[in-house]
Structure 1
Amino acid sequence: MLVALNLETINNTAKKYKNDRLIGILIARYDTNKDLIAPNYELWNSLTGKHLDVFLAGYGSYISPDETNDRKKIIEFTEPNVNRVYFDTDAFVSIIRKLEQNVKKYNFKDTSPVLILLNVKNGKIIWKENLVVALMNDKKPVPFSMNSIMTKVSKLTEKYNSIYEISNELTFHSINAKHSLPEISISDLFTLITSII
């Protein structure tokens, strides 16, 4: 998990990749998702990294407690937050606006966390090749499904480095949900996959 206060951070990281790969941008406002982010951050951090970098949109690190306010909040993890990871509302809104311009079918809704997967080729993010995955169903919060999806996406990125391959695999698993992902119903998974371009 990498912090990203702006899209430039994400673009600069993508330029360093020597091979084609996927990245994820996690859209989860801390105020409404702290019960999801704090307990899952370490798990998601362990699941991602080698094959998939996930950027936390609007999050930064190493803020002084004196600099915090209503718009900048240090995250309260169950483990000590030694890097002083924090959420910056203004940075979050800025990234959301830019993502809405770059990812055509993405419209920000402050109802559930969203993971946007993007192809990176030759060190450049291919914005039109994306998969937008809602990590929870807006109508029925199911946090265990969120972790199942994060685990599944992480495993798939070990095998594939293309949005299209990941999309096909997620669709296949949604059809065979009773055998592949027993904790996610077929209708839940179709709801979770919100956009493929």
Structure 2
Amino acid sequence: MEFDMHQVETHVMEKDLSVVYTIDPCVVEDYINTEEHLLARDKYKVVSIDLQYVGGHPGIDQKVDVARLCVRYHVLIYHYCLATKPCDHFASFLNSPNDNVWGSTKKDSLVELTSAIIDPYYKNMKKDAKKNPASWHKAWMWRLDEAHLKFAAKNVYTCYEMHMRIVNMRECLLPIIDEGSSHQQRSGGKRHKKMIK
């Protein structure tokens, strides 16, 4: 696939994902600035992030191949290992404590959750993409083909969508007592602390 804008269909009729596939740090910076502007109005600043690693040992010498970010229907697929130069804004955005980040590490159960929580449309998302399982992981190191791009976009979007549904349910179920704590109990005007054993 070309480094450019792409459209990837979702389970919602006439609501495609707007996907930016790039290696250019200027494009990444522009995407992040746009999304930060959109998030500024939101009470819960939710960003879905998924990192595709190549080789190595987790936490020791693994390198990021592809980074995926999603806010609403906007997806960034940053082919990090092919980048022309590092993007400092990208690193600071990932390390920002102000965003609710929803990432995935257990890929096997993600498709099942997505199918059950969002829509059965995503049931075969992983199986349809992996035509040749032996070469699937190696392909992340090179320019992505259409199957990898669609899977990457849908994968990071479904993480975002599931987290937003959790946020929406939480707002419906939890009364706002105090913004600082959701575990306050009141009895006769006195507060009781819950003991943790």
TM-score (norm 2): 0.26
TM-score (norm 1): 0.26
